[in-house]
Amino acid sequence: MDGMVTTALAQSNSLAIFGAVIACGLAIIGAGIGIGFIGGKAMESIARQPEMAGKVSTTMLIAAALIEGVTLFALVICFLTLFWLK
């Protein structure tokens, strides 16, 4: 009986670790896509109105920093989940 409980616990831990790894990957992919969109649209707007390059660049950097902050927070949560389960 005790062996079955240990096996079920190990299996649930491995599924939780798998979920945390998938969440880390999705957070990184989402951040990459978001920053790519921001950079592309910023370059398009600078190409249309070069005199606004300073304001667009500042806004782009602030938005990219916010995305990176959320991504870092997601990764910290995923890593804490991984280390808490082991």
Q: What tokens appear for 14 in the block?
A: 């491995």
What would the pLDDT profile of 18-39 be if each residue is shown by its tens digit?
888 888 889 889 999 999 999 9
The string of pLDDT tens digits covering residues 49-65 is 999 999 999 999 999 99
Tell me the CATH number at 6.
1.20.20.10
Q: How far apart are the first and last CA of the chain?
A: 23
Distance CA 24, CA 72 (A): 10
Range of the domain at 14: 2-85
Burial level of 78, CB count in 10 A (0-12/13-18/19+)?
Answer: buried
Q: How many domains does the chain have?
A: 1
pTM over 0.85: no
Q: What is the pLDDT of residue 21?
A: 83
